[in-house]
Amino acid sequence: MLVKIFADEKEFYDFFQSSPNRTIGVYSKVDDIWGTITLKDTSIMDEILGMENVNRYIDTCILHDLVMKEVLGIDEEMQKNKDYVDYLRGTKDIIQVARDENKYQLVFVMRPTPVEDVERAVTHSQRMPQKSTYFYPKVWSGMVFRLLSD
């Protein structure tokens, strides 16, 4: 993994907007430091998830299976139960939330999962990892489903 540290949040965002694939943003509230981690050697995800898993290189898998599970020791059950983990999504300003809330020590910033990755998973009949397919804004089902005939 390539770790990059930034002088401030603006420098972080300038880099993050055009950063390479497999890059996850990190904010340490304890140290007030912004950084990124980038998976350079994809073979580690091949070992962890197996070559048959088409999702193994998406940011969510890298975060859940490599960073949280292998590095931080937060297993899948703890992630599902939200032990030590909370998910912020949508339009919330994560920077403000991270600074205002005392319960967060680390904040991971991720870009949306590309549609191509979702299509690949569907084509191979594989489930996407938890929280990788959150789409916003949500469409109201009443607006989508309507009988067209009597």
Q: Around 148, how many Cα atoms within 13 Å sit in the side-chain half-sphere?
A: 2
pLDDT for the residue 135: 60
Q: Looking at residues 14-35, what average pLDDT do you find? A: 90
Give the SS3 label for residue 38: strand
Give the SS3 label for residue 108: strand
Residue of 77 and 47 predicted with greater confidence: 47
What confidence tens digit (pLDDT) does each residue in 71-95 have?
Answer: 888 888 887 777 777 776 655 676 6
User: Which of 2-6, 30-34, 63-67, 138-142 has the lowest average pLDDT?
Assistant: 138-142
Torsion of CA 98, 99, 102, 108, to 10 degrees: 20
Query: Amino acid identity, residue 82?
Result: K
pLDDT for the residue 147: 64
- 68 pLDDT above the threshold of 80: yes
Q: What is the average pLDDT value for the chain, to the nearest integer?
A: 82
